[in-house]
Amino acid sequence: MTSNSKKYFGTDGIRGRVGTSPITPDFMLKLGWAAGTVFGKRSQGNGRNKILIGKDTRISGYMFEAALEAGVTAAGVDISLLGPMPTPAIAYLTRTLRAQAGIVISASHNSFEDNGIKFFSGEGSKLPDELEYAIEEQLQHEISTVAPQSLGKASRVTDAAGRYIEFCKSTIGSCLKFNSLKIVVDCAHGSTYHIAPNVFEELGARVKAIGVAPDGMNINAASGSTSPQKLVEAVLAEKADIGIAFDGDGDRVIMVDHLGNIVDGDEILYVIARDRRRQNIDFGGVVGTAMSNLGLEQALDALDVPFVRTAVGDRYVMQEMQQRGWDLGGESSGHIICLDITTTGDGIVSALQALAAIVNCEQPLAELRHKMRKLPQSMINVKLGKGLDIANNDRIQKTVADIERKLGKSGRVLLRPSGTEPVVRVMVEGEDKDVVLDFARELSAVVATEVEKSQ
């Protein structure tokens, strides 16, 4: 069986529009039963099996939580309900509460009309393919309920938020205080709304919180890491030192310096890596993706820090980090992984690492980010037809080669078919903004012409 044979699981769980298959209550009922059956069979010992369920703040989360609860308990597995919690918090609690698995009800940075499911193993990491296959295999069978005396029970973890807040605080030195910092925190009306402001306040910072009034439908709406303009305005209005924005489920972070400049995942990774190198902490190297800015690679090279790229997606970043035994990796979007601290991408933990670097260096974020020079990038989406094989199209590849030759070592070209829509992303990166834009337009025009020919 290959990954292409999966019917429901994508690279990051199961996701789609609410009410459209498979994001429906009846499917979630069966998914809960299938997961409960699979994990129940794999448990060890004679104790009760347990699965945690957490969610973000989408209105549909209530419906899917109830459906999953019914399915899991029908399979004879207990449920611990966490309520609204960041995705990385669910990974942490799954591990520390010794559960067989954790289930997250979230569509991350998508709008409220979407929702999804992702699973964590008992170790707090993404599920291996074999378990996803096993759950899909179980979904092919009719639901069967265990004997009444064997049904699972449901309980609520009332101190889930407090447990996770204390964990976040423990990830930086106990002597480190943020008393000198005024911070604006944008929680995107998502699952960090009752967590993140408390973390930073308890570490001494003066905090102005925005995006902390979820109504079930405003998650990620013109706020958070995908829309940081309100954060920029708030930082300038409050004369704050730093702004921090999370996405709806809390696994991504974007920052804003005191001048109102947006600081993306590449720059945050650099700030963290630079501070670790300064302290002679061995973290191996940094894993980025095909979309990571060339400026990050160059800045890390100047620090003598190894850097490698993977395909876009935190799953691929994680795999490469584990294979190499490295501790730092992430994406430009702000999905940053610190494997020596936790088992998955965590927006709050990553923000704390960056804040610690700022305090340790006694330099503002605006100064630290300028030690890495981002190169201009230009990306154009071109509608992609089914008949065009980009990799083997002579005209497209000749154009790519010509542009790469003209850019030399100070630039690069990337053609990447989207995994979510029928387009190819044409990206050119280099020293000069205008030159980069001209090359991107030239290449996208060639791609568009070849697409038209192939129809």
Q: Using CA atoms, how far apart are residues 279 and 25, in angstroms rounded to an integer? A: 51
Residue 413 in contact with residue 388, Cβ under 8 Å?
no
Q: Could you tell me the CA-to-CA distances from 191 to 25, 208, 308, 363 in Å, in that order?
A: 22, 17, 32, 31
Edge-to-edge strand list for the sheet holding 286-289:
307-310, 286-289, 328-330, 336-338
Residue 251 in contact with residue 347, Cβ under 8 Å?
yes
Q: Using CA atoms, how far apart are residues 253 and 186, in angstroms rounded to an integer? A: 10
Three-state DSSP state, 379: strand
Q: Using CA atoms, how far apart are residues 442 and 399, in angstroms rounded to an integer? A: 9
The residues near 306 (Cβ < 8 Å, ≥ 6 apart) are 284, 285, 286, 300, 326
Three-state DSSP state, 194: coil
Q: Alpha-carbon dihedral of residues 379, 382, 384, 387, nearest 10 degrees?
A: -110
Q: CA-based diameter of the chain, in Å?
A: 73
Structural tokens at position 229: 């303009």
**Considering 80, 106, 108, 378, which one is annotated as catalytic?**
108
| Active-site residue, 43 included | no
Helix axes 160-170, 87-96, angle to 10 degrees: 90
Helix axes 294-302, 265-278, angle to 10 degrees: 10
Structural tokens at position 451: 């697409």
Structural tokens at position 454: 């192939």
Q: Alpha-carbon dihedral of residues 333, 310, 274, 241, nearest 10 degrees?
A: 0
CA-based nearest residue to 184, from 196, 171, 195:
196
Q: Using CA atoms, how far apart are residues 271 and 210, in angstroms rounded to an integer? A: 25
- Sign of the alpha-carbon dihedral angle for 449, 450, 454, 455: negative
Residues classed as catalytic: 108
